[in-house]
Amino acid sequence: MPESTASTPDRRLVLQHIEGPVATLELNRPDKRNAISQALMQELDRCVAELPASVKVIILAARGDNFSAGLDLSEIPEMSAAQGVYHSQSWYRVFDRLQFGRVPVICVLNGAVVGGGLELASCAHVRIADETAYFGLPEGQRGIFLGGGGSVRVSKLIGFSRVTEMMLTGRVYSANEAFQIGLAHYSLAAGSGMAQARELAARIAGNAQMSNYAIMHALPLIAEQPMSHGLMTESLMAAIAQSEPEAKQRVNDFLAKRAAKVGRG
């Protein structure tokens, strides 16, 4: 496909750029505020599934002024109840691939992070919001309910009580408020999210791959387990991670003073 120009916009629903160990995926429906259609979801799924083994981190962002205004509501009216279930399940599969896949995901958020857009963002392991971002769950006002996993994922981030209030009242959180309650890990000046994402991606890509994998997969399990089960899971994961040759080399480098110490900045 030829490169896009100002007169010939790229019609792909998800744009992909790979630079070294970092893959940047951008939602590309800016004229629709990056509303998530089924076709966009399928394209995102394909992009993630086909990433080369050299990729160690994904940056998920969006073209235009909005990360995503949510589900493309034009696809709802003709759905039967059964089709609605299948639709949600298809989203779950893609979101699981992001949250519990091979590599960590950093999400860059600007403008609308609403409904399905917030459900998508909640799959990421690191969420960076710039000051233009605003967060909402307007399903109550639309006569619908969360269908992309938000009742689980967003509730785990901020608690079901806050999600209840957001959905009942239509409350919208600013980027700074979202940072304070846990919807975002960073709240930055407008336009600075991608630079921060690239800096963090380089840092994450430098970690041992097994450590990253353990952090992504074991921590959510441990959080759901009784204490005794969680401690057993932790001990097993620790033993597996530290047995990797890469881990042994890193520990030896630290002991031999060849590795940097933990510090601020």
Tens digits of residue pLDDT in 56-115: 999 999 999 999 999 998 888 878 999 999 999 999 999 999 999 999 999 999 999 999
pLDDT of residue 8 exceeding 60 = no
Q: Which of 205, 221, 240 is at the close of a domain? A: 205
pLDDT band at 5 (very low <50, low <70, confident <90, very high): very low
Question: Comparing C-alpha atoms, which of 95, 131, 114, 107 is closest to residue 166?
Answer: 114
pLDDT of residue 135 exceeding 70 = yes
Q: 115-144: buried (b, 16+ CB within 10 Å) or exposed (e) per residue?
A: bbbbbbbbbbbbbbbbbbbbbbbbbeeeee
pLDDT of residue 6 exceeding 80 = no
- Does residue 152 share a domain with residue 90? yes
Find the CATH number of the domain harbouring 232.
1.10.12.10
Query: What pLDDT sits at residue 261?
Result: 72
pLDDT top residue among 250 and 243: 243
Query: What pLDDT sits at residue 3?
Result: 46
- Does residue 106 share a domain with residue 48? yes
> Does any domain span residue 264?
no
Domain interval for residue 73 = 14-205
Query: What pLDDT sits at residue 264?
Result: 66
Active-site residue, from 3, 119, 165, 177: 119
- Does residue 190 share a domain with residue 87? yes
Instruction: Tally the domains of the chain.
Output: 2
Q: Residue 19 has which token pair? A: 């630079």
> Does any domain span residue 8?
no
Average pLDDT over residues 185-192: 98
Give catalytic status of residue 139 as yes or no: yes
- Does residue 167 share a domain with residue 94? yes
Mean pLDDT of the chain: 93
Query: What pLDDT sits at residue 10?
Result: 74
pLDDT of residue 2 exceeding 70 = no
- Does residue 154 share a domain with residue 180? yes
For the stretch 15-46, pLDDT in tens is 999 999 999 999 999 999 999 999 999 999 99
Question: Comparing C-alpha atoms, which of 187, 197, 185 is closest to residue 23?
Answer: 197
E strand or H helix at 55: none
Give catalytic status of residue 119 as yes or no: yes
Helix residue ranges per DSSP H, the chain: 38-49, 81-99, 116-121, 139-142, 150-158, 160-169, 175-181, 193-205, 209-224, 227-243, 245-255
pLDDT top residue among 259 and 163: 163
Longest dimension (CA), the chain: 65
For the stretch 204-243, pLDDT in tens is 999 999 999 999 999 999 999 999 999 999 999 999 999 9
Centre a 10 Å sphere on the Cβ of residue 148 and count the other Cβ atoms it contains.
27
Active-site residue, from 139, 199, 234, 244: 139
